[in-house]
Amino acid sequence: PAIIQRKDYRVPEWLVPTIDLDFALKLDATRVKSTLRVERNPHGEQGTTLRLNGDGITADSVTVDGQSTNSWRMDGSDLVIELDGDKHEIVIETTLDPAANSQLSGLYASNGMLCTQCEAEGFRRITFFPDRPDVLSRYAVRLAGDKAKFPVLLANGNEVARGADPERDGPGTHWAEWHDPWPKPSYLFALVAGELVANRSSFVTLSGRKVRLAIYVRPGDEARTGHAMESLKAAMKWDEDVYGREYDLDDFNIVAVSDFNAGAMENKGLNIFNTRYILADPDTATDGDYDAIEGVVAHEYFHNWSGNRVTCRDWFQLSLKEGFTVLRDQQFSAAMGSAPVKRIEDVRVLRGVQFPEDSGPLAHPIRPDSYQEISNFYTATVYNKGAEVIRMMTVMAGLDRFRRGTDLYFERHDGEAATCEDFVKAIEDGAGLDLKQFRRWYEQAGTPRVEVEMRHDATSGEVRLILRQTVPATPGQPDKAPMPIPLRTALFDRMSGRHGGEQTLILDDATREFSFTGFAEPPVLSINRGFSAPVAIATPTPAEDLLFLARHDDDPFARYEAMQQLVVQHLVGVVNGSVTGAALDQGRAAIGEAFEAILDDRALDDLMRGEFVILPGETYLAEQLLVNEPAAIHAAREELKAWLGINLGAQFRALHDRCSAVPYSLSPEARGSRKLKTQALVYLAPADPAEAIRRAKAQFDGADNMTDRQGALMVLCGLSGPEREEALAAFHDRYAGNALVIDKWFSLQAGSLNPKALEHTKALADHPDFNLANPNRVRSLYMAFAANPQAFHDASGEGYRMIADLIETLDPLNSSTAARFVTPLGRWKRMEPGRSALMKAELERLAAVPTLSRDTREQVSRSLD
């Protein structure tokens, strides 16, 4: 298989300043006429061959400068034309079958409508083109189709004309013409045609221009678009206020589709969304769904500058737009709600998904050096670690200086296809930072481990803090150089419970020592506050210090972290056998005490309290162990939950009562109550199942919103009894036909703590509502299952077989979705021997499938290496 290397980048030989696209739209036979004006790139190699990428398409006709020609040939899937001049007009006609496009890349049909997904390499499935992000063109698009089937015709930019021309386009048709004034790469092209209704609004920009806003959905769904619209307007305002970025077209359109491979897509002026990130009302969407919609709507909007106005030179630079845009959406969501809660959630995702990626066979730097299939690199590393790397720049520079850097970046590179290096240089110049060594964060994979040693001299009152870093070896990178790690740090006086000011320590060598004075007693160390660097602090902290920080730290993240560490250190000890007998009792008692203090702390808001009482996840716990023992980790975590439920039963019952009395609203207080209400049930369930069932049933039956209903159903699902079956049936009946809610119904069962979750998942794959063609439905069942350690890691290996079978069946239909399921099987090297062999055997079985797609084959072979 061809391996594409970052170092092989060459500027394009030919540019395409303009492209006209003419679509005669039909669900099963769309004709595309593409007119490219091509020009030799004076900076490129001066060859005579124009290579136009294609994928699964054939040319019906090709003309050069108005003449039909035979100076073209197919080279694999690409169309190659020999040209003798410097400027030519090429016209190519293709015919597509969108209804047969199950890959959901290129032009495809979804529920009777037509839509596109071109990132990363979908445009070449529509027409032949130099399908690379550094070829920027002005697009003029004409769409024609049956007026009854496709009353709405949308493309990027501005609608410049519309009408009907039955002689040209056929009876019953209409057409629309869209021009996008902003040159863009092909991956940002989009069209939508279908029966859609719009929620319309407007936004007046910084400079007083009125922008028309519309969110298009299927008829009947428009009442559920209000939150997305409010999120969009808030994002537009925030980007002006915080980054000085104004919208640049007269229209901003969003379309929601139910068949979509990812969350959403930032096509210029025409964002296309998975319905999951648009539709919400209290009856069908949880508080988490509301937050996700706000974040994703903002993310796609922010791409208008970080991605569209300044795009990527090549796909190795993906983090240039994705890392930066994730940081921007995280900052936005923090500003819209509780900043500390948002930080905790973001770190939970990083540690639960990205840290395992960074320590596994698929580890790669945020700017990878090679790939076979780019869609495999839309990863937590490129997105979330990419955001953390830029966040560290904000820590080192401060927000004002960072803003000077981003202003310079946008000014220097507006209208260009840029690199990560361009971004770093602009921040360096604009913010006045020296990022020479910092560039290693772009080059090296792996999560740095920081060891901490504190030496205290009682006579002089000096404290010496010795910090050491190691960056673990990762595939292809056995040796690493030290990276600058900014650690926000405070030293607390034990007596007063206060510190004398926070400092940012930069650990920029393998070992560094920092000295502090004025400490009669050894202080308590609060380090990596706010999670200022994406590293693991490898040295255990004494439990008494963690208890101190959990009570006194004035950094909310550090306080949360102290609680988490207290639990992590205890559970890791239980699993590896070092915590037994009296130590086990003491450990539990300390955790119980800390929980009680959190439950009683009146100064804490409920949203934050809700975060404190979530135990570290099993994947994160597994990361702390050299050899993963999923059954032991699960048992230890469940036993601790039960112990807390028994010993703090009165508090959890009181909490459930208190929170159940708070009426529904979207206020932070009410949201906090809903979060805690279900958390209380989570602890009561293993401690007193009958009581938990009674309370969960009452919560389910009385719920006036999805957060409470889903929370109660989750708890019931994990238990056994008629209440579980009744609630599942009632939920299914109530929401029959509402795809997004039925997805929840699948997920709750596949992700459940119920010991029969494996059996239930198997049965659900045969449920009439299950549909392999819809990625949301596939993910709702199988991603939830693969993320459910006790079911997926069943000692029989049946869970592994089920995922491998899914990959094999799904791969020919939708390879990029299938490839994503390889990751959970890839963790075999860190697994205990029995399960490790079973996982590896499934990967080997997949590797032997001769017809495997490039996407899946790349992931399978990297996982086996």
- Which residue ranges make up the site for Zn ion (CB under 5 A)? 322, 325
154, two tokens: 């949308």
**Least distance to Zn ion from the beta carbon of 299, Å?**
5
Q: What DSSP line would sit under 750-777, residue for residue?
A: HT---TTHHHHHHHHTTSTT--TT-HHH
**Least distance to Zn ion from the beta carbon of 327, Å?**
11
Q: Is 265 in the site for ligand HT7 (CB under 6 A)?
A: yes
Q: Which residue is nearest to ligand HT7 (CB)?
A: 262
**Least distance to Zn ion from the beta carbon of 264, Å?**
8
262 binds, among ligand HT7, Zn ion, none (CB under 5 to 8 A by kind): ligand HT7
863 binds, among ligand HT7, Zn ion, none (CB under 5 to 8 A by kind): none
Q: Is 375 in the site for ligand HT7 (CB under 6 A)?
A: yes
**Least distance to ligand HT7 from the beta carbon of 749, Å?**
27
Catalytic residue among 300, 345, 357, 842: 300
User: Contacts by 664-673 with C-beta closer than 8 Å and gap 24+?
Assistant: 664/282, 664/704, 664/705, 666/287, 666/290, 668/337, 668/338, 668/605, 668/607, 669/605, 669/606, 671/287, 671/606, 671/607, 671/707, 672/605, 672/606, 672/607, 672/608, 672/609, 672/610, 673/606
Return the range that interacts with ligand HT7 (CB under 6 A); candidates 95-103, 126-134, 261-269, 558-566: 261-269
> Distance (Å, rounded) from C-alpha 741 to C-alpha 863?
34
> Distance (Å, rounded) from C-alpha 126 to C-alpha 123?
5
C-alpha angle 342/221/322, rounded to 5°? 35
Q: Is 131 in the site for ligand HT7 (CB under 6 A)?
A: no
**Site map (CB under 6 A) of ligand HT7, residues 799-838, x = contact:** -----------------x----------------------
> Distance (Å, rounded) from C-alpha 680 to C-alpha 658?
11
760 binds, among ligand HT7, Zn ion, none (CB under 5 to 8 A by kind): none
CA dihedral 663, 666, 672, 673 (to 10 degrees): 10
User: Contacts by 406-409 with C-beta closer than 8 Å and gap 24+?
Assistant: 406/243, 406/430, 407/244, 409/310
Return the range that interacts with ligand HT7 (CB under 6 A); candidates 69-77, 91-99, 296-304, 432-440: 296-304
**Least distance to Zn ion from the beta carbon of 158, Å?**
24
856 binds, among ligand HT7, Zn ion, none (CB under 5 to 8 A by kind): none
Nearer to ligand HT7, 378 or 438 (CB): 378
Q: Is 266 in the site for ligand HT7 (CB under 6 A)?
A: yes
491 binds, among ligand HT7, Zn ion, none (CB under 5 to 8 A by kind): none
Nearer to ligand HT7, 264 or 278 (CB): 264
Q: Is 678 in the site for ligand HT7 (CB under 6 A)?
A: no
Q: Which residues pair with 194 in a beta bridge?
A: 152
**Least distance to ligand HT7 from the beta carbon of 265, Å?**
4
Closest C-alpha among 720, 716, 717, 676 to residue 698? 716
Nearer to ligand HT7, 120 or 467 (CB): 120
Among 180, 289, 322, 358, binds ligand HT7 (CB under 6 A): 322
Q: Of 4-23, which residues contact ligand HT7 (CB under 6 A)? A: none
469 binds, among ligand HT7, Zn ion, none (CB under 5 to 8 A by kind): none
Nearer to ligand HT7, 301 or 800 (CB): 301
Residue the block writes with tokens 């923090």: 334
10 Å CB burial of residue 504 (0-12, 13-18, 19+) is middle
Q: Is 299 in the site for ligand HT7 (CB under 6 A)?
A: yes
Nearer to ligand HT7, 30 or 311 (CB): 311
**Least distance to ligand HT7 from the beta carbon of 813, Å?**
15
Count residues binding ligand HT7 (CB under 6 A). 15
485 binds, among ligand HT7, Zn ion, none (CB under 5 to 8 A by kind): none
274 binds, among ligand HT7, Zn ion, none (CB under 5 to 8 A by kind): none
Among 119, 618, 743, 794, binds ligand HT7 (CB under 6 A): 119
C-alpha angle 12/17/23, rounded to 5°? 110
Would you call 300 a catalytic residue per the annotation?
A: yes
**Least distance to Zn ion from the beta carbon of 625, Å?**
33
Closest C-alpha among 407, 421, 431 to residue 312? 421
Evaluate whether 305 touches 239 at the Cβ level (below 8 Å): yes
Among 247, 377, 378, 423, binds ligand HT7 (CB under 6 A): 378
How far apart, in Å, are the Cα atoms of 781 and each of 318, 758, 766, 772, 786? Answer: 29, 11, 11, 10, 9
**Least distance to ligand HT7 from the beta carbon of 500, Å?**
42
370, two tokens: 């090679």
Evaluate whether 163 touches 174 at the Cβ level (below 8 Å): yes
Return the range that interacts with ligand HT7 (CB under 6 A); candidates 27-35, 89-97, 112-120, 696-704: 112-120
Compute how many other C-beta atoms are within 10 angstroms of the C-beta atom of residue 40.
Answer: 20
Residue the block writes with tokens 């969960």: 696
> Distance (Å, rounded) from C-alpha 679 to C-alpha 715?
9
**Strand intervals (E) in 66-196:** 67-68, 72-75, 78-82, 87-96, 106-110, 113-117, 137-146, 152-155, 158-163, 173-184, 191-194
> Distance (Å, rounded) from C-alpha 864 to C-alpha 82?
42
Nearer to Zn ion, 325 or 331 (CB): 325
Task: Please give the distance of CA 50 from its chain centroid, rounded to a whole number.
Answer: 36
**Least distance to ligand HT7 from the beta carbon of 216, Å?**
18
**Least distance to ligand HT7 from the beta carbon of 141, Å?**
20
Nearer to ligand HT7, 292 or 536 (CB): 292
Return the range that interacts with ligand HT7 (CB under 6 A); candidates 68-76, 299-307, 420-428, 557-565: 299-307
Evaluate whether 484 touches 508 at the Cβ level (below 8 Å): yes
Evaluate whether 29 touches 98 at the Cβ level (below 8 Å): no
Closest C-alpha among 671, 744, 776 to residue 342? 671
375 binds, among ligand HT7, Zn ion, none (CB under 5 to 8 A by kind): ligand HT7
Closest C-alpha among 126, 89, 118 to residue 14? 89
Nearer to ligand HT7, 299 or 425 (CB): 299
**Least distance to ligand HT7 from the beta carbon of 307, Å?**
7
Nearer to Zn ion, 260 or 785 (CB): 260
Considering Cα of 214, then 133, then 392, then 425, what sign does the dihedral take?
Answer: negative
Q: Is 591 in the site for ligand HT7 (CB under 6 A)?
A: no
**Strand intervals (E) in 122-263:** 137-146, 152-155, 158-163, 173-184, 191-194, 197-204, 210-217, 251-257
Q: Is 262 in the site for ligand HT7 (CB under 6 A)?
A: yes
Among 30, 103, 116, 117, binds ligand HT7 (CB under 6 A): 117
Nearer to Zn ion, 239 or 322 (CB): 322
671 binds, among Zn ion, ligand HT7, none (CB under 5 to 8 A by kind): none
> Distance (Å, rounded) from C-alpha 755 to C-alpha 758?
8
> Distance (Å, rounded) from C-alpha 176 to C-alpha 191?
11
Closest C-alpha among 254, 266, 264, 274 to residue 199? 254
113 binds, among ligand HT7, Zn ion, none (CB under 5 to 8 A by kind): none
**Least distance to Zn ion from the beta carbon of 302, Å?**
8
Return the range that interacts with ligand HT7 (CB under 6 A); candidates 298-306, 423-431, 495-503, 724-732: 298-306
Nearer to Zn ion, 215 or 297 (CB): 297
> Distance (Å, rounded) from C-alpha 704 to C-alpha 776?
25
Amino acid 210 reads K
Tell me which residues touch ligand HT7 (CB under 6 A).
Answer: 117, 119-120, 261-262, 264-266, 299-300, 303, 322, 375, 378, 816
Residues with a catalytic annotation lie at 300
